[in-house]
Each structure stands twice: as C-alpha cells, then as structure tokens.
Structure 1
Amino acid sequence: MGRTRHETFTCAAGCTVEATLNLIGGKWKGVILYRLLTEEVLRFNELRRLLPSITQRMLTNQLRELEKDGLVQRTIYPEVPPRVEYRLTDEGRTLEPVISALKAWGDRYVANRAD
C-alpha cells in the first residue's frame, strides 16, 4: 500500500514539515540525498555499493520518487551498455543544510548513546 501524497499543503502550521518529510522521509531517501551531496554524481551501481542493505527494487523506486519530486536528475547516456548517472538538481541542493543538520544530530546522538 502506497502512502498518501498531498497535492497541496494549505493546512495548519506544521504542514510544511509534513511536506518536507514526505519528500525526504523514509529509510533511504535521506541517505541517497546525503550520498549525492557528498559525491556529486553517482551511477546506479555506485549507489548500490554505498548502500549495501538496500535492494535494487527499493533503490530504483526511491530514485524515481526523488526524480519525480524534482530533487534528483537522471541522465542517460546513449552508450552500450547505457550509462545512467544521478545528481541533485538545484532544488535538491537546497536540502544540504537539512541533510547536514540531520547528520550532525545523528552523529551526536550515536556518540551519546555509546557512552
């Protein structure tokens, strides 16, 4: 069962948080965005190697959603075999402070839990 995606977010305060989480939420999207922020351009199999726990199907679905939402750009090169590269769009790059803040918070949390 797919999750409900809102077309507009014209509800009470906090809906913009929901909108953001709809775009980057879930187990893999934030990690994919982080990898594309740190690596600039990645091919599909490079992403698979960086995310060994993700299935091929899940990675494909997450990349398609990020592309549909305008955060990731997919470029297909007419070669044999075809080369496909993924990079952040300008809109996707605007998430850098958000992803960086999530990483910093996670680093602190993990370090404090280890004590």
Structure 2
Amino acid sequence: MTTSMVLCPKFEEAFQLLGKRWTGLIVEVLLNGDCRRFKEISELIPNMSDRVLAERLKELEAKDIVERKVYPETPVRIEYILTPKGKDLQKATKDIHEWAEKWIDSPQEVVEN
C-alpha cells in the first residue's frame, strides 16, 4: 500500500514568507510588545539593515500580518503593530521556540564540537 503526501501550497507560501531572513525576528519583536516604531524594531534586531527592515515590514503589511499606523503629528509618527492575523502566529512561534531549544545547538556548542 502506497501513501501519497498531499502538498499544501498555503503551507509552502507561509514558510517562504516567514522563513525569509529577519522576518521571524520582526514578528517575534512585535509579538513581545505593543506598537513599535521603526527605530525600536531596528534597535532590537542588531545587524539588520534599515533597508531590509523596511522591505520586510512592507511584505508583512501586504500580507495583512502587520499594520502600519501613521499619526498626523509634526514630526509624523509611524508605528507598527501586529494584526489579529499576525497575533495568531503566537502559538506557532512558541512551538518553534520549544523545538529549537530541544534540537538546535547553540552557536557556542557548534564551535566547541
């Protein structure tokens, strides 16, 4: 008896979106706080360029995962917050954290071995 695996294009698209470099960390930062300004996100994720952060935020906004709030003040204030769709990633990120803690070696362990 042969079993066939059903491929899910939605699953693949989700992994492609969230698997892009820095995207998971951006979501994680937004899951751990309320509205965040661009500079706050940038400071919480060292080594990521502002250009890449802007690109990833636009991608997440286009997929309705992140909402960009513009406040008509002087100077203009812009904040980013997860939408309900984005907040729904909380369980998935928790599960990935648990899996990583169990199965992924820390950078120090890799160097030492």
Q: How far off its partner does 1:57 sit? A: 0.4
SS of corresponding position for 2:28 = helix
Matching residue within 99, 102, 106 for 2:93: 99
Matching residue within 23, 26, 31 for 2:20: 26
Structure showing greater Rg = 2
Residue-by-residue CA offset, 1:7-54 (whole Å, 9 max, x unaligned): xxxxx5232320211231211111000110011221000001001211
Check whether the contact 1:23–1:69 (CA below 8 A) recurs between aligned residues.
no
User: How large is the Cα RMSD of the aligned pairs?
Assistant: 1.7
> Aligned equivalents of 2:95 and 2:46: distance in 1?
24
Matched, 1:110 2:105: yes
SS of corresponding position for 1:110 = coil
Matched, 1:42 2:36: yes
Q: How far off its partner does 1:59 sit? A: 0.3
> Aligned equivalents of 1:107 and 1:87: distance in 2?
27
Q: How does 1:22-101 map to 2 (within 5 A)?
A: 22-101=16-95
What TM-score does the superposition give when structure 2 sets the normalisation length? 0.82
Give the unaligned 5+ runs of structure 2.
Answer: 1-5
Runs of 4+ in 1 over 3 A off after TM superposition: none
Q: How far off its partner does 1:100 sit? A: 1.4
Q: How far off its partner does 1:107 sit? A: 2.7
* Alignment: residue pair count: 103
Give the unaligned 5+ runs of structure 1.
Answer: 1-11
